[in-house]
Amino acid sequence: MEYSNVTIMDHPLIHHKLTVLRDEKTSSRDFRALVSEIAMLMCYEATRDLPLEETEVKTPVAVAKTKKLAGKKFAIVPILRAGLGMVDGMLNLVPSARVGHIGLYRDPETLMPVEYYCKLPTDIPNREVIVVDPMLATGGSAIDAISQIKKRGPKNIKFMCIIAAPEGLKALCEAHPDVKIYVGALDEKLNDHGYIVPGLGDAGDRIFGTL
Ligand code: PRP
Ligand code: URA
């Protein structure tokens, strides 16, 4: 499966951290730290195309002709709950980013997303948005969250997840072909309960210790 708008990470640090993250023996404390670190590494890749402008800065030696980000109009939108675990790592790289929140959970019977909260920066039409969630399983939550955010008219939307199932990736690409997608690892399949195989279990429960 290959899509032009999908980037699958292939970096030794991400491979290594993902291995520890998947391990059922990893504690909630370590799990949270790893989710944050992986999100930071992925954010580096997902911000590669941010626009720059020419500038000058006076060093102690001379004036340097250099570059800076053109505007700071960037927003991170985690899908609650598990997406929250990715925010701090990304803010480490882009401290001026605004943070919106969208609350969805999967109905355990139907696996359909149920929205319960949405609070986005008021100037969202001027911002580039990265929607984050560690898991892309059926794709229902990401598709729905992005549809809700699109209604508020942001300039551009990207989606970042740590682990994706092929089924969810296909569904998201088909529903939102304009959205660039960044994936830490593409796994094998979904099981009958909508869990990613091999995956890492329930990301929200492992982050917040609610197992
Ligand atoms: C998990 C995960 C995604 C969703 C992915 O959240 O964090 O949001 O499932 O599944 P999907 O692609 O099939 O929609 P969950 O619904 O368990 O809620 P939580 O983060 O509050 O635990
Ligand atoms: N949500 C999770 O947290 N894990 C999965 O494997 C699927 C959905």
pLDDT digits (tens, 9 = 90+) for 112-159: 888 899 999 999 999 999 999 999 999 999 999 999 999 998 889 999
Q: How many CA atoms lie within 13 A of 148 on its CB side?
A: 22
Residue 86: per-residue pLDDT: 98
Cβ of residue 43 lying under 6 Å from some atom of ligand 1: no
d(CA 191, CA 195): 5
CA distance 171 to 61: 54
Higher per-residue confidence, 1 vs 185: 185
Tens digit of each residue's pLDDT (9 = 90 or more) over 12-54: 999 999 999 999 999 999 999 999 999 999 999 999 998 899 9
- pLDDT (tens digit per residue) in 46-78: 999 988 999 999 999 999 999 998 876 889 999
pTM metric for this prediction: 0.95
Q: How far is the CA of 94 from the centre of ligand 1 (A)?
A: 25
Of 102, 109, 141, 211, the one to substitute when testing ligand 1's pocket (max ligand atoms within 8 A of C-beta) is 141
* Candidate of 104, 106, 143 to mutate for ligand 1, largest count of ligand atoms within 8 Å of Cβ: 106
